[in-house]
Every structure is written in structure tokens, then in C-alpha cells.
A = this chain, B = another copy of it.
Amino acid sequence: MSLSTDRDKLPAADTPTLYKQIRLDIERRILTGEWPPGHRIPFEHQLMTRYGCSRMTVSKALSELAQADLIERRRRAGTFVRRPKFLSAVLTIPDIRAEITALGRSYGYQLIRCSRRAANAADRARLGVRKTGKVIAISCRHSADGVPFAIEDRLIDLDAVPEAARADFAIEPPGTWLLHHVPWTEAEHSISAIVADEETATALDIAIGAPCLVIDRHTWRSARTLTAVRLVYPGESHKLVARFKGG
């Protein structure tokens, strides 16, 4: 193997910064399968002579790849290509208003019910909290170009999100308001399919017995429940795009 220290082994292209070129070069080898999962990536010292730069520079490239979970670094042992994440493919579930407007369709919103009350037993169970507190319960409907798009049924824990008391959910959908005002750390989703009962069928303007897609989402901030929501979509395809992460 040549040990020349010239830099022109890199794709060059429009020459971004050096560490980025290194990162992309290694990323390419991994994604094309040239360096399969488990393969040991050359030591930092070898990479610095290969790319003709300092160790800090290759280290920065490798650190970013490690943060993106493409490689794994172990002291004394070396750096290895990670097994393609065992589980996973990643989906994003957009905010409904943003999703509809991004599609270039007109967004419509109707508040069906909104009440503020002390939490009852069913509310506490749904939020997964023990103590009694105040909640806001909201039912509403989203539409695109005048056609029903989804119905939403939401519970917000007012003890965890006191500022929600000042929001006007007759104007702004609760999901959109929350996304813009309340930071969260964890979310859990449950996706399922149901057939429409009479109330659902009426709200979505579909036939009774027609299939519907349901997303139940529970959102926390540091173990504190913020909100629980159920979204019901007519069963026609609901498309979501996911890309492999990589900075």
C-alpha cells in the first residue's frame, strides 16, 4: 500500500472542509458496502498519513460519524463499522397543519369541544398520572381543501403545561400550539387500525365500517406527562417520508 501523503485521493468535488471530505469519504465506503459492518476502520494514525492532516482532524470526522451511529469507537481496540441499526427505519409524523400547508392545500380547522376540568379517573389513566389536577380536553377536526383530513381528541395536563390555559384553541390547533410553545423530551406512539363507528364516520364523512388509521401519542418532558392525543385518519394512504439520518 502506498504511504504517500498527498491529499488528492479524496473525491475533492467542490472541496468542502477537509474533515468533511474525510467524513464523506468514509461514509461512502460504508454505505456502498466497501467497508461492511464489523470492518475495522484504519487507525487514526494511518488516516492522518492517508489524508495528510493532523490527528485532531480525522478525530473530528470520526466523532461525527460515531455521533450519527455509523461507527463505533472503542479505546485500544479501534474503530468499527456498526451493524446497520438492528431495528429501525425512521418515520416522522408532522404537525397536521404544517403537513397540509406543505402539500400546498388549504388548511381548515374546526374546534368541536373544549373543556377545562379537574381530572377524573379516566383522564388520569389516559395521562398515566396519579395525582388529581386540572386538564384541558379538546376535540377538533382538521381538513384539507375542505375535505375532512383527521379528527383529534386530546388531553393536556394543565399542571405540567400551565401556559396552555392562555392559548385560544378555537383559533390555533392544539398540536400546532404545543409544538411551538412547549419543549418535550420523549414521545411514544401507538399506531393501529380501526373501522369507523357512526360518530367517526360522520365526522370524517366516510362510510360506517370503513378502515381508519389511528395514532395515539403520549408526550413527556423529563418523565412528566404533558399531553396525550388520539388522531384518526380516513384509511386511505397516509404518506410519511424517512431518510437515513447522517448529519
Contact = CB atoms under 8 A, between A and B. Distances in A.
Interface stretch (A109-117, A123-131, A137-145, A192-200): A192-200
A217 interface: yes
The count of identical subunits is 2
Contacts of A217: 89
A239 interface: yes
A224 B136 CA distance: 48
B187 A89 contact: yes
A87 B99 contact: yes
A91 B189 contact: yes
A221 to B, nearest CB: 7
A104 interface: no
Interface in A197-223: 209-214, 216-217, 219, 221-222
A36 B31 CA distance: 37
Contact of A88 (B86, B93, B180): B93
Interface in A159-199: 179-180, 182-195
A41 to B, nearest CB: 15
Contacts of A191: 91, 191, 213, 237-240
Interface of A: 30-33, 36-37, 64, 67-68, 83-84, 86-95, 98-99, 102, 179-180, 182-195, 209-214, 216-217, 219, 221-222, 233, 235-244, 247
Given A86-B179, A91-B93, A191-B213, 16 more contacts: A30-B183, A31-B221, A37-B180, A86-B95, A88-B93, A89-B187, A90-B92, A91-B92, A184-B244, A187-B244, A188-B239, A190-B240, A192-B211, A192-B213, A193-B194, A193-B233
